Amino acid sequence: MFAATPLTGNKPDQYAQLAEQARGLLHGERDRVANAANLSALIYHSLPDLNWVGFYFYDGIELVVGPFQGLPACVRIPLGKGVCGAAAATRLTQRVIDVDAFPGHIACDAASRAELVVPLEDAQGRLVGVLDLDSPSVGRFDAEDQAGLEDLARIFQESLG
Ligand code: SME
């Protein structure tokens, strides 16, 4: 059974604790769906003020929704479209303060106001997909959140071997 330990200290400390929990949770398992499901659940239940956390995987043509927590979401996102498609196309994390000001933002859940999307690449630099977090609060994600989530995305990628 997984026992969630409350995160303490400042934000970098909290992300260090979350990273430790993620390493423990994914340890010894290389299945992509299993690890994406457990990591999205861990993040969703550990961090405050989120309404969607999950994965989109690249199928060679576009992004297809994978394991997530939150309301049902758009299934397919073309590269370059929306925040997720921008992260996948540029291979750069997209940290959006206010999604209403992001041209082409795809509104899956009308409650979403801020978004953080981290691209996922394999060891050869090939696009794997993205890790997407949505919040109902404008400006929810700062640079420390971005660093913490990029670390968690790395842990996920490394767990796949
Ligand atoms: N808002 C995203 C779409 C995915 S959902 O937020 C789950 C985007 O613009 O790419």
Domain for residue 54, yes or no?
yes
Domain for residue 70, yes or no?
yes
State the pLDDT confidence band at 1, using cuts at 50, 70 and 90: low
Domain for residue 5, yes or no?
no
- How many domains does the chain contain in total? 1
β 76-78/62-70 pair status:
antiparallel
pLDDT for the residue 108: 87
Q: Are the beta carbons of 64 and 75 closer than 8 angstroms? A: yes
pLDDT in tens, 72-104: 999 999 999 999 999 999 999 999 999 999 989
Is a pLDDT exceeding 90 seen at residue 15?
A: yes
Domain for residue 95, yes or no?
yes
Strand partners, 119: 130
pLDDT in tens, 104-123: 999 988 899 999 999 999 99
CA of 140 to the centre of ligand 1 (A): 15
pLDDT in tens, 127-143: 999 999 999 999 999 99
Residue showing tokens 């992300």 = 15
Range of the domain at 109: 11-159
Find the CATH number of the domain harbouring 28. Answer: 3.30.450.40
Residue nearest ligand 1's atom 7 by CA: 73
Domain for residue 2, yes or no?
no
**Widest Cα–Cα separation across the chain:** 43
Q: Is 154 exposed, middle or buried (0-12, 13-18, 19+ CB in 10 A)?
A: middle
CA of 32 to the centre of ligand 1 (A): 21
Written as one string, the DSSP assignment of 35-64 is: HHHHHHHHHHHHSSS-SEEEEEEE-SSEEE
Domain for residue 4, yes or no?
no
Q: Closest ligand 1 atom to the C-alpha of 108?
A: 5
Average pLDDT over residues 23-37: 97
Ligand 1 pocket list (CB less than 6 A): 52, 73-74, 77, 82-85, 105-106, 108, 112, 115, 132, 134
Domain for residue 68, yes or no?
yes
Pocket test for ligand 1, best of 58, 76, 105, 135 (most atoms within 8 A of CB): 105
pTM score, whole prediction: 0.97
In angstroms, the CA 116 to CA 26 distance is: 22
